[in-house]
Structure 1
Amino acid sequence: MSFKGIIFDLDGTLLDTIEDIADSMNRVLSENNLPTHDTEAYRLFVGSGIRNLVKQALPESHRDETTIQAYFETMYGLYKENCVKKTRPYDGVTDLLDELAARDLKLAILSNKADEMTQQTARALLPEEYFTIIAGLTDESLKKPNPQKALQMSKEMGIDPKEMIYVGDTDVDMQTANNAGMYAVGVLWGFRGEEELRANGAKKTVAHPSELMALL
């Protein structure tokens, strides 16, 4: 198969965002006298949007909708101010993007992170001129693994979904890729492990960004 375009997840795929996320949420919890979590725990909380992360981080006794919404709003504001303090591209990501752009592949970013912060982090830390589309979450009903936004991207890029690679680090990403009829590639440097990726439909797993070039 000759691939013409690639859609990337953001957190855990292109950018290592976990420390800024953990620091922001733990500050919210600490200021409200609630138990905090170590950074590793947040690797399991991410992937389905900030609101879901807040729900997972809260004690079960605090998971009613009113409380979740209140803590979400606090977390959102705090993370917005601190989302690029410790966040950096993973080793090899910038070189990969340089090579893909040199080959004239069409690239996009699709994240379950709120669109405002997806734009903020991607544009601050990645060469935005390489990407045809950068999109985060604007509507909960369109949250991955719903493939609608991935398919819309494919259409806007003028590429058949079967000629698209979808690259991500979680079960949600692999489900999105398969739901959209795209070639699912799981990255092993992100927030989850190979077993989860394979179980959710990864056609290929890669341990370093440079390995992605072998598919092309």
Structure 2
Amino acid sequence: MKYKTILFDLDGTVTDPKVGITKSVRYALEKNNMEVHSLEALEKFIGPPLKDSFMKYYDVDEATAMHLINDYREYFTDKGIFENKLYDGMIDLLKALKDKDYTVAIATSKPTVFARRIIGHFGLVNYFDEVIGSNLDGTRINKAEVITSVMEQLNITNTNQTIMIGDREYDIRGAHENKIDSIGVAYGYGTIDELRQSNPTIIVYSIRELYDQLIVG
């Protein structure tokens, strides 16, 4: 395989964060007397930067969105962060990548401090060479900026040997902006249409397929 560096999105790609994220969003909305129909209706918050989602789906200005994020973190920091689970087969994939000496990193829009806590919680620290996300002050939330930061930290200069893996259009667009290949994973929270329209190098439908692409292929 031509790749030497594998970048993973976190939410919807390595872990399934549905319960924790949707409950945290519900907490923030209800605290501010905003309507919540169901947790399922809040799944659209999984993946994109929270500020963008609050502004888009609840038609609030940036200041209000930042206030909602602070309320979101009241629940997420100690509870929601651990209402999360690894996708079946992910440990085997990461172990195989480690055994083959790939450089592996997390590139997420989630704040770095939370991403690192999650990686530690699941005992994955030794599988990743770097874990980078956004900043708590709301900067570096764009996925392209996150990917750029990871590549700089890892001193990656050969973009032809680097690939980004994620479940949302933001991951694929971030890869395009950094001129690297990408894999869209359809087992996460992006729709097939969303992934196809963002034009990844390839789409896979399961971690088994992802394993075959990265390890067998």
TM-score interval w.r.t. the shorter chain? Answer: 0.7 to 0.9
Q: CA deviation at 1:140?
A: 4.6
The change in CA–CA distance for 1:30 and 1:152 in structure 2 (over 3 A counts) is: closer
Q: CA deviation at 1:198?
A: 1.4
Equivalent residues in 2 for 1:180-195, closer than 5 Å = 180-195=178-193
Q: CA deviation at 1:80?
A: 0.9
Equivalent in the alignment of 1:95: 92
Equivalent residues in 2 for 1:74-89, closer than 5 Å = 74-89=71-86
Deviation digits for residues 82-129 of structure 1, max 9, x if unmatched?
134320011111111111111111100011012221111122124111
8 Å contact from structure 2 (residues 5, 162) kept in 1: yes
In 1, the alpha carbon distance for the partners of 2:152 and 2:66 equals 34
Q: CA deviation at 1:173?
A: 0.4
Deviation digits for residues 143-173 of structure 1, max 9, x if unmatched?
3342x44234334434411101110000100
Q: CA deviation at 1:189?
A: 0.9
- Report sequence identity in percent: 25
Equivalent in the alignment of 1:29: 29
RMSD: 2.1
Q: CA deviation at 1:141?
A: 5.1
- SS across alignment from 1:111: strand
Q: Which of 107, 118, 121 is 1:121 aligned to?
A: 118
The change in CA–CA distance for 1:141 and 1:29 in structure 2 (over 3 A counts) is: closer
Equivalent residues in 2 for 1:103-142, closer than 5 Å = 103-138=100-135, 140=138, 142=140
TM-score, length-scaled by structure 2 = 0.87
Equivalent in the alignment of 1:69: 66
In 1, the alpha carbon distance for the partners of 2:81 and 2:143 equals 26
Gapped runs of 5+ residues in structure 1?
Answer: none
Matched residue type, 1:103: K
In 2, the alpha carbon distance for the partners of 1:126 and 1:209 equals 19
8 Å contact from structure 2 (residues 4, 161) kept in 1: yes
Deviation digits for residues 2-27 of structure 1, max 9, x if unmatched?
11010000001001112111112212
Q: Which moved more, 1:131-140 or 1:31-40?
A: 31-40
Equivalent in the alignment of 1:9: 9
- SS across alignment from 1:192: coil
- SS across alignment from 1:2: coil
